Amino acid sequence: MASRDYPRLSIYDFGQHLLESGDLDPVYIALEKMEWGDPAHLERWLLAYWCFYHCGAASYISEHQGEGFWDAMREAARNVLPAPDGGRWPRGSERRHFRGKAAIDAVERLRARFGDMPERAVHDIAYGVPPDHIIPVTARPQPFAEVAARAKGLPLFGPWIAFKVCDMLDRLGIAPIDFDKASVFMFADPVKAALRLWRAHENLPDNAEPKDEATKHLIIDNVVAHLTEHFKAHTAPPRHERPVALQEIETILCKHKSHMNGHYPLFNDINEIRGGLSGWAPYSETARAMLHAMPEGSHGPA
């Protein structure tokens, strides 16, 4: 658990650190940097990650194909036999509910749907068509609401993981997604962080609230515009094909909220993910490759 005893940075200095260190989205950077060979391997990795939200477990599971993939997924869901590292099969805190009988049933339902091609799940979510359907290079960005709805059609996939699915599909260049402020700011944390910045700029007390929903939406719009302008010299990881925009501003706001509350020291995500991968590296070539591709944390490379 992160220590609360560290200097607090302004959102401007903190956001710059996230962007320059790679701690904004270190998983995206590592996935983009790795040489996958077979795209289906990355797609199996994504499906396992979305279920368990742990890079080490996803790396190990993704190395299995067809029925072997589902065997590994079942074992992780049941969590009775030790994981390859000798401990319990991990869940990221964000997917802590993907466990027990519900998780076991979810894996069986996924297997029934995708059979010996588990990687097909990624294409189905992204475009809603079979994987042998050719998507034109000039295909329009997919509306967030449509892709998120397809993600939420998978068992135990709720609004938060559906948003993360859309974000990863877009940022990894698998499918362009058309986000809007409503889709990005549908969760409490970025809204709270935006309102905190508004209060600070207006010298308002900590308990000040917008007078109505319309005013709150206007405040969020203004905060996003202000931060987008501030960080316009930075490009969006991992592909850096465009300037920082709505998705990255949401991440900066969320992480800054945790930073100010004592739960996010500098390099937090990089250090935690590298630590989680280190335990799996002896058992998974993919985990070793991902560890090598990760940005360096506060303690340097592994």
Query: From CA 295, how far away is CA 246, in angstroms rounded?
Result: 23
Place of tokens 């979510």: 125
Cβ 203 vs Cβ 179: under 8 Å: no
Supply the DSSP symbol for 282: G
Residues shown for the chain: 302
Structure tokens at 38: 């077979």
Residues near 279 by beta carbon (within 8 Å), at least 6 away in sequence: 56, 85, 87
Catalytic, 250? Answer yes
Residue of 241, 250, 272, 285 with catalytic role: 250
Alpha helices, DSSP H only, in 203-281? 213-230, 246-260, 268-278
Residue whose C-alpha is closest to residue 185's, from 152, 153, 227: 227
Residue 216 burial (10 A CB sphere; 0-12, 13-18, 19+): middle
Would you please indicate which residues are annotated as catalytic (active-site) residues?
250
